[in-house]
Amino acid sequence: MSDAQPTHVVPLEAGAGPDNPPCPACGEPLFGWLSARPGLRGPVSRCESCGLGVVGESADPEEALHELDRLGGADGPRISNRASFACSLGSAGWAGLEPGSRYLFTVESVRRLVARRDQVVKAHRWEPAAGLVATWQTMLNSVTLGHNVALAAFGRAEAVPAQEGWQRRIDALASVVLAIPALLVALPIELAGGLFGRGAVYSLRLELL
């Protein structure tokens, strides 16, 4: 006879508590992901169910919806996808971690969040050009001391520059010298992300039920 003991699956709800507040999108506990770092409001938590990331200590559905609306165009929001391959590989170097960021969305977290006001995600579309640029910057962030230096130089993002002048000069040089190698690495990553629904940037179309 086998002495193996049955495996018990622990539900996510078991982790709920003061240190793991509920996700504003789906209500599951938020767990720690990244420690506080320059340019961010505080440590970053993530939901293991819908993938939403939260920067700072508290989270509120109405605040999350308000931030989502700020990302909107005529048809719906365009999000930097926290469930992307670029984010998984880049972690703290992910380009979507911009100064002032509060909520880091995924398509699934948006789906659950907008259901609170009787909306649905009618369609979502991968943005390959924007996604490639974001993944490229994520790759560069892995070798620079500052964050999002290259995109900020083109006015496409807000950087968190390195503290010392000599460090900033090194970052500028690295961004130029490694621009093509980083692009060659980013291209297959983003293509795979788009193929498997884990691209770096998505446009969403919302409709009322």
Pick from 126, 129, 167: which is nearest to 147 by CA?
167
Q: With pLDDT > 70 as the criterion, what percentage of the chain qualifies? A: 90
Q: Give dist(CA 164, CA 78) in Å, integer.
A: 34
pLDDT tens profile 52-94? 999 998 789 999 999 999 997 667 899 999 999 999 999 999 9
The answer to whether the CB of 179 falls within 8 A of the CB of 140 is yes
Amino acid at 68: L
Q: Give dist(CA 170, CA 142) in Å, integer.
A: 13
Pick from 10, 15, 13, 204: which is nearest to 113 by CA?
204
CA 159, 160, 164, 169 dihedral sign is: negative
pLDDT tens profile 170-208? 999 999 999 999 999 999 999 999 999 999 999 999 999
Q: Give dist(CA 69, CA 64) in Å, integer.
A: 9
